């Protein structure tokens, strides 16, 4: 099941990498110099870093699944794999066990890595989109104080429509 999830996420990202790049370019095109918006962006960045650290801890803790059977091997000499696998031959002897153990551990690490980092990328895009909606809301609130409210409102509407297009494209890409 994990292999299927990882494969589908990786394939989705790989097949849509040009669209994802376009979304990122559209989202990062206009940066605000408003101090309130910069503070909000800083808060989003701090939350994203916390989220990334949590993912990193989860990734490194997955090494436990690979290391724990090694402790059993050292203590009792029992040759087990990190998780239940089937081989049509005896895989518990000598070099074959070592190679297969490394293969199973590496494949586990790669699957976890693919799932976690694809989720991290999706989360990052959602954070940027959410920040853009918050910036738009702040800009909308400031229309009353503007010297030209009609053009400001028109600008807000255009920006809102563009954000909705980006969200729609995002939903088409990440359908899972």
Q: Could you report the per-residue pLDDT of 35-52, keeping only the tens digit for each?
A: 666 676 677 777 767 776
pTM: 0.66
The tokens describing 88, both together, are: 């049509």
DSSP helix, strand, coil percent of the chain (3-state; round to 5):
80, 0, 20
pLDDT digits (tens, 9 = 90+) for 76-120: 677 777 667 778 888 877 788 878 888 887 777 777 777 777 888
In the predicted model, what is the mean pLDDT of residues 130-155? 88
**What does pLDDT average to over the chain?**
79
Residue-level pLDDT at 42: 73
Residues 8-35: what's their mean pLDDT?
78
User: Which 8-state DSSP code applies to residue 144?
Assistant: G
Better-predicted residue by pLDDT, 174 or 168: 168
65 touches 57 (CB < 8 A): no
Produce one character per residue of 40-74: b if its CB has 16 or more CB atoms within 10 Å, e if not.
bbeeeeeebeeeeeebeeebeebeeebeebeeeee
């Amino acid at each position: 099941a994990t292999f299927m999830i990882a494969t589908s996420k990786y394939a989705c990202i790989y097949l849509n990498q040009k669209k994802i790049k376009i979304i990122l370019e559209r989202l990062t095109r206009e940066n605000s110099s408003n101090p309130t918006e910069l503070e909000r962006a800083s808060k989003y960045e701090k939350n994203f870093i916390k989220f990334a650290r949590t993912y990193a801890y989860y990734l490194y803790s997955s090494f436990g699944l690979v290391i724990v059977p090694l402790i059993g091997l050292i203590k009792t000499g029992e040759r087990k794999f990190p998780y239940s696998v089937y081989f049509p031959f005896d895989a518990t002897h000598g070099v074959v066990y070592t190679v297969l153990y490394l293969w199973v551990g590496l494949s586990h690490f790669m699957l976890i890595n693919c799932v976690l980092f694809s989720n991290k990328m999706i989360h990052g895009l959602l954070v940027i989109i959410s920040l853009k909606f918050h910036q738009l809301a702040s800009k909308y609130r400031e229309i009353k104080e503007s010297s030209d409210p009609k053009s400001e409102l028109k600008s807000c509407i255009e920006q809102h429509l563009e954000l909705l297009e980006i969200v729609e494209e995002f939903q088409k890409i990440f359908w899972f």
